[in-house]
Amino acid sequence: MTEVSHLSLSGGYLKVSSEVATPAIRLLASLMCADIHNCFAEVVAGSAAWLGRGLSCVCAQRRESDARPSFDLTPAQEECLQKLQSRIDVTYDSSIPEHQEALRALWNAAFPEEELCGLISEQWKEMGWQGKDPSTDFRGGGFISLENLLFFARYFPKSFQDLLQKREGDRSVWEYPFAVAGVNITFMLIQMLDLEAVKPRSIVGATFLKFLAENELAFDLLYCITFKLMDHQWLTMHASYMDFNMVMKSTRRQLERELLLDDILRLEDLPSYGLLTR
């Protein structure tokens, strides 16, 4: 009998169909499924791997040398940095009512016409969380990563929905998960700007603190710009989920270049800010 076997994609899973499926085909399908789900299981959560086994997360990588010069801060910049660091230090705690309400608010902003059944629900997968409990994904970014997503949803609702629903461009079969990507972006920005240091040790970090002293919401705004820029890079590079690290590296390089342009006096002057729509 002629064997007809093929692999197909259905609901985010690989399926094998055949008139007479050979053992080799069944084994291949099971290995591919296991590999794909292991990839997503390593997303964020403090892991150095992101969306692909064997790939190191751009967030976890250090510059070539840690012996970088520090930059002196004005009193205003130092105060703003300390306030931002206090936000970064807050871990997500599902037992805190404020954190619970913020999570509910994020759902309502993302799906205003769909009632949330509970803070632990299969519905969260619709937003791009790994499982039914988003709190497990906040370990890599803390409570500020939830605040960033909520800020994005409130201040740039159209761009937020466009990215959430993957409305723009020729999309990949295997797209990046929206919410988990958002947590990863928060983590990347904290490292890129060296925000956990007493003083910035890069000119990019020092430049950002000038913007922060002028606008206390500068980090949240830069987050929105970065998320939209990342998606723009994703589409430009015709990327799929295995390319996410490469896309993040490209996004970081572009963002650093824009922050150091001579005529940038505020974040709204960044070329990538023009990608955002309200």
Q: Which of 44, 7, 48, 51 is nearest to 25 (CA)?
A: 7
| Count of domains for the chain | 1
135: in domain: yes
Q: Would you state the pLDDT for residue 210?
A: 95
Residue 177 domain boundaries: 67-275
What's the pLDDT at 138? 85
Model pLDDT, residue 4 = 38
Q: Output the average pLDDT for the chain.
A: 82
Query: pLDDT tens across 152-178, in order?
Result: 999 999 999 999 999 999 999 999 999
Q: Is residue 25 a part of any domain in this protein?
A: no
3 occurs within a structural domain: no
pLDDT of residue 139: 77
Q: Considering only 50-64, 95-109, 188-202, which range has the smallest mean pLDDT?
A: 50-64
- What is the Cα 197 distance to its own chain's centre? 22
208-252 pLDDT tens trace: 999 999 999 999 999 999 999 999 999 999 999 999 999 999 999
Distance CA 161, CA 99 (A): 22
Instruction: Tell which wins on pLDDT, 4 or 67.
Output: 67
d(CA 23, CA 44): 35
User: Which pLDDT does position 68 carry in this prediction?
Assistant: 56
- Domain membership flag for residue 248: yes
Phi, psi angle pair for 237, to nearest 5°: -90, 0
The answer to whether residue 124 is domain-embedded is yes
In this prediction, residue 165 carries a pLDDT of 97
CB 194 within 8 A of CB 66: no
**Domain membership flag for residue 24:** no
Cβ neighbours, 10 Å, residue 191? 18
3-class DSSP string for 4-65: CEEEEEECCEEEEEECCCCHHHHHHHHHHHHHHHHHHHCCCCCCCECCCCCCECHHHCCCCC
Q: Are 160 and 153 in contact (CB under 8 A)?
A: yes
Is residue 215, in this structure, part of any structural domain at all? yes
